[in-house]
Amino acid sequence: MEIRVLGPGCPRCEEVAKRTLNLLAELNTAADFQKITDLKAIAQHNIIATPGLVINGKVKCAGRIPSTQEIKQWLEEESKTAQ
């Protein structure tokens, strides 16, 4: 699974990263996790507001902090798709 947290490193972006990493550990799921802070790289995902969460190339959320339950659901969905 490939996960990207998009944002300049603000507290909101850090919260999305923290929630995602905690859930990966809870679900015992391996992932290629990266925080993307470069504005040009962020723009390639066609989001106009950060933080953004991209899982397996799909923008799941942009411009807000998703709930832990939302992130968990997306991780589980993408995990099933990858199998």
**Residues forming the active site:** 10, 13
Q: Are 9 and 35 in contact (CB under 8 A)?
A: yes
List, in sequence order, the alpha helices (H) in the chain: 11-27, 39-43, 68-82
> For residues 56 and 28, what is the distance between their CA atoms, to the nearest angstrom?
17
| Amino acid letter, residue 26 | E
Burial 36-45 (b: 16+ CB within 10 A, else e): beeeeebeee
